[in-house]
């Protein structure tokens, strides 16, 4: 039996990639394609965005479109995602959330919704990135003393939040492995006379330019050596296939808030 899937932000870069991934997966069925009011693609066949008609029209009538869907995959913006989550909570649809940039209040809304529906939420659904996170956890435990930690991320010029959700998740994983609170030890950018680097801090640097899909490097810098763990994305398809894997994994879960470590069995 096919899993009925809705794609939010259908006409965006990630939305088009998700549509392509769903249409080529025999176990999934594209049931709805969503966009905001006023979008130039409303009413058009979603498949035409990737050059192959599929019979699903792009709509802004979210409540109507979600009826009959099993899952919605959403890589849009926090305000849109929270609107979708509220409707999913009512309709029993399971969200797969790749959106980043939520504040604490938004995260609480999602956590509360997960008491009634199953939700998969991750800053990055790439299997490779999540393997990288597991490697970082191991490295941090082994390099816990005498190493300074720097997180460097690079994305396309249109990305609106910084640091990336993936970079922050990398920082959280490293901080957790070291018994630190990232909110207390993070440094975001440097300027002017900053003084010597403080011990036990985790620093972030952000690069934005061109059409970079997503590069992330964590450096553990000691006296006389450094260890670098890097993941580079050359296509958004790896995010899409990971998100589809999460949607299929959620089918067996009635409620709860999960991430890709759960999906991949890393816990």
- State the CATH number of the domain containing residue 25: 3.40.50.720
Going by pLDDT thresholds of 50, 70 and 90, the confidence category of residue 267 is confident
Dihedral sign for Cα atoms in the order 230, 204, 18, 121: positive
Classify residue 57 as exposed, middle or buried by CB count within 10 Å of its CB (0-12, 13-18, 19+).
middle
- Measured CA to CA, the distance from residue 173 to residue 179 in angstroms comes to 10
Which residue range is the domain that position 167 belongs to?
127-233
145 and 105, same structural domain? no
- In angstroms, the CA 234 to CA 229 distance is 17
Same domain, 228 and 243: no
The tens digit of pLDDT for each residue in 230-254 reads: 999 999 999 999 999 999 999 999 9
Q: What is the mean pLDDT of residues 91-114?
A: 96
- Average predicted confidence (pLDDT) for the chain: 96
Res. 226: pLDDT tops 80: yes
Number of domains in the chain: 2
Q: Are 25 and 83 within one domain?
A: yes
Task: Return the structure tokens found at 149.
Answer: 């930690």
**pLDDT score at 159:** 93
Residue 16 has pLDDT above 90, yes or no: yes
Query: Which residue's entry shows tokens 């959106």?
Result: 99
Do 32 and 86 lie in one domain? The reply is: yes
The angle that helices 165-177 and 127-142 make with each other, rounded to 10 degrees, is: 30
Active site residues: 155, 159
The mean pLDDT of 37-41, rounded to a whole number, is 96
At 230 the pLDDT is: 98
Residues 132 and 223 in one domain: yes
Q: Are residues 136 and 63 in the same domain?
A: no
On whether both 219 and 255 belong to a single domain, the answer is: no
- Rounded distance, CA 6 to CA 214, Å? 25
For residue 218, which of 140, 119, 159, 118 has the smallest C-alpha distance? 140
Structure confidence at residue 126 (pLDDT): 94
Residues 172 and 87 in one domain: no
State the Cα–Cα distance between residues 171 and 177, nearest whole angstrom: 10
Residue 171 belongs to a domain with what CATH number?
3.30.360.10
């Amino acid at each position: 039996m096919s899993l009925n899937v809705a794609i939010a932000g259908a006409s965006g870069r990630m939305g088009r990639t998700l549509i392509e991934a769903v249409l080529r997966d025999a176990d999934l069925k594209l049931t709805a394609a969503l966009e905001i009011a006023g979008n130039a693609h409303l009413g058009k066949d979603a498949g035409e965005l990737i050059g192959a008609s599929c019979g699903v029209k792009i709509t802004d009538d979210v409540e109507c479109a979600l009826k009959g869907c099993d899952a919605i995959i959403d890589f849009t913006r926090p305000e849109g995602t929270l609107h979708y989550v509220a409707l999913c909570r009512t309709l029993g649809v399971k969200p797969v959330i790749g959106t980043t940039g939520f504040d604490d209040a938004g995260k609480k809304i999602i956590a509360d919704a997960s008491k009634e529906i199953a939700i998969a939420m991750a800053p990055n659904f790439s299997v490779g990135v999540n393997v990288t996170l597991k490697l970082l956890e191991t490295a941090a435990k082994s390099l816990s003393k005498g190493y300074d930690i720097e997180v460097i991320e690079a994305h396309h010029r249109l990305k609106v939040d910084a640091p990336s959700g993936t970079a922050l998740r990398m920082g959280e994983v490293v901080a957790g492995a070291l018994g630190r609170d990232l909110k207390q030890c993070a440094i975001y950018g440097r300027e002017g006379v900053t003084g010597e680097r403080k011990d036990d801090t985790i620093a972030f640097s952000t690069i934005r330019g061109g059409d970079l899909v997503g590069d992330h490097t964590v450096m553990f810098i000691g006296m006389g050596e450094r260890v670098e763990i890097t993941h580079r994305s050359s296509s958004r398809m790896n995010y899409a296939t990971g998100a589809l894997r999460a949607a299929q994994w959620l089918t067996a879960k009635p409620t709860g808030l999960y991430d890709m470590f759960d999906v991949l069995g890393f816990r």
